[in-house]
Amino acid sequence: MDAETYKSCIIGLLLSAVALHAEAVELNKEGRDPAYVESIVNRSKKIVDKLGISEQKKADDVTTIIANRYFKL
């Protein structure tokens, strides 16, 4: 699978996840060190920036979804 196809698949999956969660996506930061939360959110933003999502609300939701997945690791 080439890089463009891979990127398209990832964008599709993330946008599907956002569509399934039509309501606001909440960051699961309760009980976490604020510096850790900031670090994870910044990492997530770097990933989303590379995806090139033009709609800010969707980009923010995808960032939050990725950050929440990081917290589960």
* pLDDT per residue as tens, the chain (73 positions): 677 887 777 777 777 766 655 567 899 999 999 999 999 999 999 999 998 889 999 899 999 999 999 999 8
Domain holding 33, by residue range, is: 3-72
What percentage of the chain's residues is helix, strand, coil (to nearest 5)?
Answer: 75, 0, 25
Cα separation of 67 and 28, whole Å? Answer: 8
Number of domains within the chain:
1
Axis crossing angle, helix 34-51 with helix 56-72, rounded to the nearest 10: 130
